[in-house]
Amino acid sequence: MNFNIFARATLFAVLSFGAIAAQASTMPMDDTGVMQYRYGDHLDVKKVLSIQDDQSNACGLVNTRMDYLDSKGQQQSVQYRTYATGGCHEN
């Protein structure tokens, strides 16, 4: 009985690590120095320099990158997900 419980726990742990690795591999490759925004993060934005979408004519979630100046005048970049609607309507 103890071996059965140990085998199930080990299998669960291995599958959990596999799921974490699979999720990490689907994350977009971002440039060095680009912060990945998480809900609730505080951004010190004084001036927005540019906002770029992966696909402006897509319909659904896309990666967006914002370059900005902080209150110290240093350039920062943040990457986050937005909902694009440019490709949602047929003409």
Mind listing the pLDDT tens digit for each residue in 27-54? 444 456 788 988 888 999 999 999 988 7
Q: First and final CA of the chain: distance in angstroms?
A: 64
Considering the domain delimited by 2-84, tell me its CATH architecture: Roll (2.30)
User: Which pLDDT score, from 0 to 100, does residue 22 have?
Assistant: 42
Structure tokens at 5: 């419980």
The helix or strand, by DSSP H or E, that contains position 76, with its residue range, turns out to be strand 75-84
Q: Which residues of 19-33 are buried (b: 16+ CB within 10 A; e: fewer)?
A: eeeeeeeeeeeeeee
Residue of higher predicted confidence among 45 and 7 = 45
The Cβ-side half-sphere exposure at 61, using a 13 Å CA radius, reads 5
